[in-house]
Structure 1
Amino acid sequence: MTAAKPSQAAKSPRRAVAAADRTRQPTEVRRRLIVEAAVPLIAERGYASVGVRDVAAAAGVSVGTVTYHFGSVQEILSEAMVLHIERYYAELSETAEQASSAAEALRLLVDALFTEDTDRHWRMWFDYWNAGDQGTDEAFARGQAQRYEAWHQQIRALAERGVAEGEFTGDDLDGFTVRFSALADGLALQRLRQVPALSTEDARRHLNRLIETELVRRSPA
């Protein structure tokens, strides 16, 4: 008598598959999830201290999954910084647009640039600078230049708005834009290093003083 064939249930069990691997998501969705997981890692540890294993653990996927979707850890971290920076400045733009005047918009912009929670943003911003200096990726360099340009355009647009609405006078809006951006970056670096010590209130005060000096309020008619 022939032996009975083993049932399906009697076959050797398959190796368990992680939930993230069981879910077949489009490539762009999976890439986005990995990048999203990298953002807080960079903010907490810094760009240079995050590796592919850290990102994989945070995203809940295998190292192989990460390396399948990205050619290098630098590619992941660059995209994560871009994602964070785009969100940050989109929120600043939205805040400024909702202001009732250019003066209020600039004040809200200054307030948003320096809070106890923005130190992490500034760390990422300077990491983003360094990544551009160290890399040879032309696409990354173009994207970085576009973000700098967009930031300058946002500042200048607010100054132009104040002049157009009769709130400010100013004959060097391009110069004001450069000086505002440079001062904000310099204050942020001093704020992070605390040499010499700089509070968020003092950082705001310096920027507001620049606005008051260069964009003079017009006297009521």
Structure 2
Amino acid sequence: MSTTAADRGREARRRLLAAAAELIAERGWAAVSTRMLAERAGVAPGVVHYHFASVQALLSEAALAVMHDLIEQAGAGLAHARTPGEALGLMMEFLAAYDGRDPTSLLFAEAYLAAGRDEDLRRSLGGVVAEFRRALAGRLAEHQVPAPDATAAVIAAAIDGIMLHRALGPGPDAADLTAVLRRLVAPTEPRPSTKEQ
């Protein structure tokens, strides 16, 4: 079966996105050039700008696709968890594969830095984070965790911070981190009444 021009275009685009994700992690966001992308993807340099408005647009799309995929995978654990504590445990197990120096962790760090200088990327990345927080807050609300939106925001920020800190050196193990995060979603004891006599 012969491939069409549209098929070849889709394949070139797919290869460029994969190349961009690899190069962001390997070289850093600001160091990636049209020539590097074309060489890695095995296409002519003009193909980069045929499919994407700019190198920045290609890098953003590649990074956001990786982030969406990772958040969807992590979110799958939320759907099957029977308790909020179990959901956190599953997320921490999932994140154990990322040591802070792996390509995905480096891509996340580079994307966060680039978002500080690119308003479009900042909005898009903010949308990805908000999507994760909404999913987490929804699960927390189902389990009557107090202040589910604020709790989800703190947990998401803690997970980001844990991943960033892993790149700097070893820290507490996953079990200890999970135990601390579980305290955020533990049921609160009702306060005794302080009625005046």
Output the TM-score relative to the length of structure 2. Answer: 0.79
User: Relative contact order (alpha carbons < 8 A, sep ≥ 6): 1 or 2 greater?
Assistant: 2
Deviations 1:63-95 (A, max 9, x none): 121122223211111111011111111111223
Query: Which ranges of 4 or more aligned residues in structure 1 deviate by more than 6 Å?
Result: none
Structure 1: state its 5+ residue gaps: 1-21, 164-169
Change (3 A) 1:175 1:101: closer
CA shift at 1:55, angstroms?
Answer: 1.2
2:171 to 193, 198, 214: 198
| Paired amino acid for 1:209 | V
Alpha-carbon distance between aligned partners in 1 of 2:39 and 2:64, rounded to the nearest angstrom: 21
Taking only aligned residues, the RMSD between alpha carbons, in angstroms, comes to 2.6
Q: Does residue 88 of the first structure (1) align with residue 59 of the second (2)? A: no
How many residues end up aligned between the 2 structures? Answer: 185
| Matched ranges for 1:1-221 at <5 A | 24-25=5-6, 27=9, 30-116=12-98, 119-137=102-120, 140-163=121-144, 170-194=145-169, 197-198=170-171, 201-202=173-174, 205-211=176-182, 213-217=183-187
CA shift at 1:218, angstroms?
Answer: 8.1
CA shift at 1:101, angstroms?
Answer: 4.0
Deviations 1:33-72 (A, max 9, x none): 3112322222333323322212111211011211222232
CA contact (8 A) 1:184 1:207 kept: no
Alpha-carbon distance between aligned partners in 1 of 2:32 and 2:110, rounded to the nearest angstrom: 12
Deviations 1:119-147 (A, max 9, x none): 4322212211222211243xx33322211
Deviations 1:178-205 (A, max 9, x none): 22122222222211122xx326x25x52
Q: What SS does structure 2 have at the residue aligned with 1:55?
A: helix
Alpha-carbon distance between aligned partners in 2 of 1:48 and 1:174, rounded to the nearest angstrom: 34
Alpha-carbon distance between aligned partners in 2 of 1:185 and 1:205, rounded to the nearest angstrom: 16
Change (3 A) 1:143 1:116: closer
Identity level (%): 26
Output the TM-score relative to the length of structure 1. Answer: 0.71
Q: What SS does structure 2 have at the residue aligned with 1:134?
A: coil
Alpha-carbon distance between aligned partners in 2 of 1:66 and 1:214, rounded to the nearest angstrom: 46
Structure number, greater radius of gyration: 1
Alpha-carbon distance between aligned partners in 2 of 1:58 and 1:88, rounded to the nearest angstrom: 23
Structure 2: state its 5+ residue gaps: 190-197
Change (3 A) 1:206 1:38: same
